[in-house]
Chain A
């Protein structure tokens, strides 16, 4: 199934999940992104790599930030971009989702960037779309958000060259987080020394250790000596579904505070995929403080998505 992402030569054709991708492929993405990163600082921010290509952002779930960075990345590669926000209700059935896809195919597009509330939606589209179209998963249900994971890896690499020495802690709602699942797979593939997940049991998936992580129910134990701290966003609806008593108690037990930050290594970096709930998962002074790399993550998102878009489209040699 994961081979679905690779072409006959074993190169990346779709980007749906980190699972099944080699360290070499992930490193190629990071290296390619690096070459695009410097471009953003120049006066002319465009390269003609994808001139004449049409990219469709299919967002079945709202996300201004992710959609915007995908749009910018495509524009900087000189592609034509069309963004569609589609209410999930209209396409809750597989057949009408396919109808949407086939209609767009008929308009000769080259790439779908898909965000969907159901796990596996990206795979489903990649399986059923015309072979010359590449599909990029911009987040599917609770399954994967591989471009976010790659921009996080890029940000980590900027600050901490060698993955094999790193201890990384991911804190928050692991259960519902596609970001965490993709980060864990990427960190494991890149050879991180230790990955910890920190949350109350209500927010940890069962058998979480099978993902290759160590689970902690106490942030004070989990943060000790880590190099990278990744905070996850806490959705408000977790309070109404009996997973947590209140935001206040969550912050008290799992919020990242100045005092707790001292438990980590001195040069630890603090990350967050955004948008931040200040005072719920993280203290404002840390989010804006010297160890925070949260805004760098956002700018890196553009370069990393440019890399993924250009690599997949270049590797997809199927003709129309």
Chain B
């Protein structure tokens, strides 16, 4: 296999406390050395990374590929192409595909398709309950065997706490990570915007913060009761962050992620009735955004994910409450993370850790670092390259982003998956 030299890049590998300029040597798809001088290395390919940053490939915990079942919104090919261009080398696919990821057959179909696409590693997340209906357990052991990395009920309601308790116990028996979207359906009550000044002004059905933080409190209690490894997906409010911080202090095995756009936009930023801003959980207040940023900095929130949800045009064409929620967000993941560094909310090393080392740790995979001997999953990016979000630059089939038309700073130049170049700018 090819030998690759990435030369003269600014290497940031938080897991190994690496933060300096140097070379990365890759052979046989694996990291051979970082920064040591290797004498008799004749590279088949040399990538000059001068002025660029070299870091582990990003691991994204929530990427809707819309495949199988909704290929009019996106396909495994289109969305993994977008992922590769965003520096993502591994991604988790939530189970709300159609059919749902609750059988070995669906899991294998996805594995097969993603292997053919030959892009980032796709980790299917199995359904926590049968058909995500929230009433019966899924065949978790079989799902794990077929390749599911965790179990989750995606955004489908889990209103029966007894079922949830048993699902957590059962998952824990199979040493499966449980990923939950905290939500109390009877309180969010089909809302489409944060219950605050914006929803009040425009007469939109609101979702109170409590619908999330009550669920966080309940799930934490159940994690304690069942001993299950719990991960919170896409938290959006200050109160949730406080509860998770307390639980961590208390020694509970929990982790949490936040969708990148929640760290930037609030209800004040929503253009009235512009369906690109329709997302769940909804954009909340400045206070929540500030708290989420602080929680990321102090380690309460471990991970930044894209929560990528590409949509077709029709899904977003309508009056705001009628449109489908979700943002196509893979490609804005890096520039918006760099913006957090620019805003002095976190350090660059923290930002990269939240995209690499930390999700790897939560998933329990040998990845997210440039350690010698591990698969060479890498991302090289130019932190100062500005680019416009438009048809010429965009790869995802979904163009539903509030950042459409804007100019963002920071762009991936190369993505390597197991030593193979899967994207070049």
A interface residues with partner B (beta carbon < 8 Å) = 1-2, 19, 92-95, 97-98, 116, 118-121, 123-124, 140-144, 178, 181, 205-208, 210-211
Tell me which of A124, A178, A211 contacts B319 (CB under 8 A).
Answer: A124
* B186 nearest CB across to chain A (Å): 11
B interface residues with partner A (beta carbon < 8 Å) = 195-197, 199-206, 208, 271-274, 314, 317-323
Q: Given A95-B317, A124-B319, is A178 in contact with B203 using a C-beta cutoff of 8 Å?
A: yes
Contact residues of B: prevailing secondary structure: loop
CA distance A208 to B323 in the complex (A): 25
CA distance A97 to B317 in the complex (A): 10
Which residues from B are CB-within-8-Å of A207?
196-197, 200
Contact B314 A94 (CB under 8 A): yes
Contact B201 A211 (CB under 8 A): yes
Contact A211 B314 (CB under 8 A): no
CA distance A19 to B200 in the complex (A): 13
Contact B200 A210 (CB under 8 A): yes
CA distance A267 to B274 in the complex (A): 44
Contact B319 A123 (CB under 8 A): yes
Q: List 28 A-B contacts (CB under 8 A).
A: A1-B273, A1-B274, A94-B319, A94-B322, A95-B318, A97-B318, A98-B317, A116-B319, A118-B321, A119-B202, A119-B273, A120-B319, A120-B320, A120-B321, A124-B319, A141-B203, A142-B203, A142-B205, A143-B204, A144-B203, A205-B206, A206-B196, A206-B200, A206-B206, A207-B197, A208-B200, A210-B201, A211-B201
Contact B195 A206 (CB under 8 A): yes
What 8 pairs between A and B have smallest CB-CB spacing? A94-B318, A142-B203, A143-B203, A120-B319, A120-B273, A210-B197, A205-B200, A118-B319
Closest chain A residue, CB of each to CB of B194: A206
Which residues from B are CB-within-8-Å of A211?
200-201
Contact B271 A1 (CB under 8 A): yes
Which residues from B are CB-within-8-Å of A1?
271-274
CA distance A141 to B196 in the complex (A): 17
* A160 nearest CB across to chain B (Å): 26
* B197 nearest CB across to chain A (Å): 4
Which residues from A are CB-within-8-Å of B274?
1
Q: Given A206-B195, A211-B200, is A118 in contact with B322 using a C-beta cutoff of 8 Å?
A: yes
Which residues from B are CB-within-8-Å of A208?
200
Contact B314 A120 (CB under 8 A): no
Tell me which of A93, A124, A178 contacts B273 (CB under 8 A).
Answer: A124
Which residues from B are CB-within-8-Å of A205?
199-200, 206
Which residues from A are CB-within-8-Å of B197?
207, 210
Which residues from A are CB-within-8-Å of B318?
93-95, 97, 118, 124
Q: Given A93-B322, A94-B322, is A181 in contact with B272 using a C-beta cutoff of 8 Å?
A: no
* A127 nearest CB across to chain B (Å): 8
CA distance A118 to B202 in the complex (A): 11
Tell me which of A119, A124, A206 contacts B203 (CB under 8 A).
Answer: A119
CA distance A124 to B195 in the complex (A): 22
Contact A92 B322 (CB under 8 A): yes
CA distance A94 to B320 in the complex (A): 10
Contact A123 B322 (CB under 8 A): no
Which residues from A are CB-within-8-Å of B273?
1, 119-120, 123-124
Closest chain B residue, CB of each to CB of A123: B273
Closest chain B residue, CB of each to CB of A98: B317
Contact A2 B319 (CB under 8 A): no
CA distance A295 to B199 in the complex (A): 33
Contact A2 B201 (CB under 8 A): no
* B210 nearest CB across to chain A (Å): 11
With A95-B314, A141-B203, A181-B201 given, name 11 new contacts (CB 8 A): A1-B272, A94-B323, A98-B317, A120-B204, A141-B204, A141-B321, A142-B204, A205-B199, A207-B196, A211-B200, A211-B201
CA distance A123 to B318 in the complex (A): 10
Which residues from A are CB-within-8-Å of B319?
94, 116, 118-121, 123-124, 140-141
